Structure 1
Amino acid sequence: MPTTPTHPDAPLTIDANVRASSYFVLRATHACRHCRHATPVYALALPPGHESTEAEIELDDDGESRGLDPGAFHDWLFSPPTWQRVPGPALISQVGILAADVAAHLRQAAPALRPDPDGQGQWTNFCEHCGHAIWEGDLYPTVGQAFCPKDDAAATQVLVQTVHAPFAAYASMIWSDGYRNKWPLFKRLGVACGEAD
């Protein structure tokens, strides 16, 4: 079975934008909007020290993006990806591609999370009662949702499995500790978040 390398110079077997030497499989409960039954839902999170090719957007003092001049944009667009070590944790969603080893693990550990043939193969949760796909907008962005607990007490309802194996994926949404509403969840993972000094 192939493994996913995590050394910065090692080739990956997939077109990934995040990678780590370990990862978390999260389990929570969600009321399906189609049948109203409570169903298990799963998410993926990465520990501090994971790597990403997605750079943070630099903002000026007014909170506006500085943008790139046309030459710099061209260089950025056509340059090979540069892996950057990320000091904080991350919750990932809108996952389009997973390394084979990770996908194999999820088939056992998170059976409701699988590729959605009607959603361009994006890894999606499905209700165990009615079989409908569960929209990610019902799980991640808003305080009080399954993967956005409102406080430490609510975060204890999220079950955490730590997987000590390499991780690689392509995710369109990476929720970093820059999202304050994710701090209770990250604390549940054993990572304290707070204001930078």
Structure 2
Amino acid sequence: MSRIDLNVPFSEKDEAKLLGARWDARSKVWFVPDGTDPRLFQRWLPLEQDIGIRSDSYFLAQTVAMCWKCHELTSLFSFILPPGHETLEINEDSDDGDYWFRHSDPATVSYVTDLPPHVVTQLKAVAPYYRLDFSKTTGSSYWMNHCEQCGMKQGDFEMHCEPGGAFFPMDQHAADRIVLYSYRESFGCNGSASWGDHLSFRMRVA
């Protein structure tokens, strides 16, 4: 069985060591020693699928808005990534290949696909109406919100890309309606990351 290397931030190295992780000084990486259960290190396990966005931690954001179909209030969810998250940048002008770029600002993520299993498990527990579904508008499947009342799909564009959308607050009052649930575990996906001043407003951390 091949060795399992871990993505352990420097600030969490003592915690990983306490759980039994070992440090490979030559490769400068923490790893799971033989005979130790890898599930103890779930939030530091490498992501298996090809992804374009990754982070050592993430927030699940929740707010409430009116369904466009039935006009009833429904809960809506999205991902917000903290400063330090990375996006895979395509390097077409160099032989060095693609590279990971680290961002100093937070970002929201829309049109999400390819979530790792441990993130899906969290979603099923707290956001059952946020699930993978097919969109005729985009001609693709992605994780999207559904109205709690009528089950109608709630598209990502308006809530993420339009000023005043559910996850595009234009003032502190709108930002106050967004609650953040913090998860200290690895995150990865494909999707569309958005940065901007609308993320400078304070949001409530549950």
Task: Say whether residues 1:159 and 2:179 are aligned partners.
Answer: yes
Which of 130, 143, 147 is the aligned partner of 1:123? 143
Task: Say whether residues 1:43 and 2:78 are aligned partners.
Answer: yes
* Matched residue, 2:203: 188
Unaligned segments of structure 2, at least 5 residues: 10-28, 30-44
Task: Say whether residues 1:90 and 2:107 are aligned partners.
Answer: yes
Instruction: Say what the alpha-carbon RMSD is for the aligned residues.
Output: 2.7
Which of 190, 196, 203 is the aligned partner of 1:170? 190
Residues 100-115 of structure 1 aligned to structure 2 (within 5 Å): 100-115=117-132
Which of 150, 153, 168 is the aligned partner of 2:170? 150
Unaligned segments of structure 1, at least 5 residues: 56-67, 191-197
Structure number with greater Rg is 2
Asked if 1 retains the 8 angstrom alpha-carbon contact of 2:106 and 2:199, the reply is no
Deviations 1:75-119 (A, max 9, x none): 58xx3x322221111111011211111111111122121100456
**Cα distance, 1:25–1:19 mapped onto 2, change above 3 Å:** same
Deviation at 1:128, TM superposition (A): 0.9
* Matched residue, 1:31: 66
Q: How many residues align?
A: 165
- Report the structure, 1 or 2, having the larger strand content: 2
Residues 47-86 of structure 1 aligned to structure 2 (within 5 Å): 47-54=82-89, 72=93, 75=95, 79=97, 81-86=98-103
Structure 2 Cα separation of the partners of residues 166 and 134 of structure 1: 27
Deviation at 1:50, TM superposition (A): 1.1
- TM-score w.r.t. structure 1 length? 0.73
